[in-house]
């Protein structure tokens, strides 16, 4: 089920909105932190106040509590459930020639190692076993266990539907752990400029994200410590012209993203780009609202791995660790029908 949730918003108190279940993102975010295909599960409390001041038109505060894995087995790592908790503060500014929606989000992920020790059901594995021994098939359509240096081939294994790129380490008992912990600090500035043509506004999104709990020194492709600093930063700049409100509206744009290895948890990253993290990514796109409920979309993705010498780096066949990977180009066509 993609979504199933309850929202409570009393008529007498329109500033209050409480949501629980599996829902669309109620806070401002981009694909830097979450794949648009994922619907988070948990709770959200939104307090939104419209203002009548000349510039500040809205102030919104949200609480965020997400559940991403349940684990009640004390033999499995700590035996604690996995969750994320945080919040966002955002506003809306009207400067006449432009409107701006700045936001700041803080999100703390707890007990993240559950992602590295997921069950056969969680990874939809097609095989199960121990070590290198295959014990037969289990229901599932993939993607199965993520591959990488010293990562297990059978469940319990790493959940990474589009690959796995974060740094990991293995303890004396053979259990896998994230090298970093994850505390997102994410600032987004979403702007729209008037151009004199109402159907062709100029849109500019700027984002800076930092994992405040990233490890000080990542590991190289062989699992050895490096002298590199924290691989914790994510950057996005997205500029476009147009909108998608009415029939025959069009929008054309370009986006640049640079995301370091442990900026975010790679298991939840954008699935269409070159790799989940440790990437440089360009995106050119165009959209046409053919009908009120139908949108045609073209996207060209051009990306490569940022540092091919880091542990779990995803590189093209024949690429030597430490060299620059060739650009990967992907063309994507979508026809979206809403009903």
DSSP state at residue 149: T
Question: Rounded to whole angstroms, how far apart are CA atoms 231 and 32?
Answer: 15
Question: Can you read off the two tokens belonging to residue 239?
Answer: 């500029």
pLDDT of 2: 87
Question: Rounded to whole angstroms, how far apart are CA atoms 29 and 317?
Answer: 33
Instruction: Report the chain (339 residues): mean pLDDT per 10 consecutive residues.
Output: 93 96 96 94 97 96 91 55 95 96 97 85 66 55 80 84 92 89 98 96 98 96 93 98 96 98 96 96 98 96 97 94 95 93
Provide the b/e sequence for 57-73 (b: ≥16 CB within 10 Å): eebbebebbbebbebee
Question: Rounded to whole angstroms, how far apart are CA atoms 165 and 287?
Answer: 31
CA 208, 209, 214 angle in degrees (round to 5)?
A: 145
Question: Rounded to whole angstroms, how far apart are CA atoms 139 and 118?
Answer: 15
Give the number of residues written for the chain.
Answer: 339
For residue 36, how far is the Cα from the chain centroid? 7
Question: Rounded to whole angstroms, how far apart are CA atoms 90 and 99?
Answer: 13
Contact 268, 38 (CB under 8 A): yes
For residue 237, how far is the Cα from the chain centroid? 16
The residues facing 289 across adjacent strands are 295
Q: Which CATH number fits domain 4-118+158-337: 2.40.160, 2.30.110, 1.10.155, 2.30.29?
A: 2.40.160
Question: Rounded to whole angstroms, how far apart are CA atoms 319 and 18?
Answer: 49
164: left (phi over 0), alpha (psi -120 to 50) or beta: beta
pTM (predicted TM-score): 0.91
Question: Can you read off the two tokens belonging to residue 323?
Answer: 């060299």
C-alpha dihedral (84, 85, 86, 87), degrees to nearest 10: 100
């Amino acid at each position: 089920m993609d979504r199933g949730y309850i929202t409570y918003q009393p008529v007498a108190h329109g500033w209050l909105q409480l949501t629980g279940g599996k829902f669309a993102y109620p806070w401002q975010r981009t694909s830097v932190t979450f794949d648009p295909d994922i619907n988070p599960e948990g709770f959200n409390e939104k307090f939104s106040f419209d203002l009548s001041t000349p510039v500040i038109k809205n102030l919104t505060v949200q609480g965020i509590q997400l559940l991403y894995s349940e684990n009640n087995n004390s033999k499995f790592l700590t035996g604690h459930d996995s969750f994320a908790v945080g919040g966002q503060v955002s506003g809306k500014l009207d400067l006449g020639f432009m409107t701006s929606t700045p936001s700041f989000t803080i999100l703390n992920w707890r007990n993240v190692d559950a992602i590295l020790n997921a069950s056969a059901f969680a990874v939809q594995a097609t095989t199960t076993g121990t070590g290198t021994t295959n014990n037969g098939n289990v229901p599932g359509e993939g993607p199965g266990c993520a591959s990488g240096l010293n990562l297990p081939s059978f469940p319990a294994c790493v959940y990474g539907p589009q690959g796995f790129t974060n740094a990991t380490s293995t303890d004396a008992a053979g259990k896998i752990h994230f090298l970093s912990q994850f505390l997102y600090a994410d600032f987004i500035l979403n702007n729209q400029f008037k151009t004199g043509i109402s159907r062709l506004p100029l849109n500019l999104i700027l984002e800076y994200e930092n994992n405040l709990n990233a490890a000080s020194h990542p590991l190289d492709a062989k699992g050895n410590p490096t002298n590199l600093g924290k691989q914790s930063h994510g950057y996005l700049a997205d500029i476009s012209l147009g909108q998608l409100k009415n029939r025959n509206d069009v929008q054309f744009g370009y986006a640049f993203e640079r995301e370091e290895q442990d900026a975010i948890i790679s298991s939840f990253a954008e699935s269409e780009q070159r790799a989940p993290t440790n990437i440089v990514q360009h995106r050119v796109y165009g959209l046409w609202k053919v009908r009120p409920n139908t949108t045609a979309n073209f996207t060209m993705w051009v990306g490569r791995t940022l540092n091919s010498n880091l542990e779990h780096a995803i590189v093209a066949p024949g690429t030597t660790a430490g060299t620059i990977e060739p650009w990967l180009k992907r063309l994507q066509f979508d026809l979206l029908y809403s009903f």
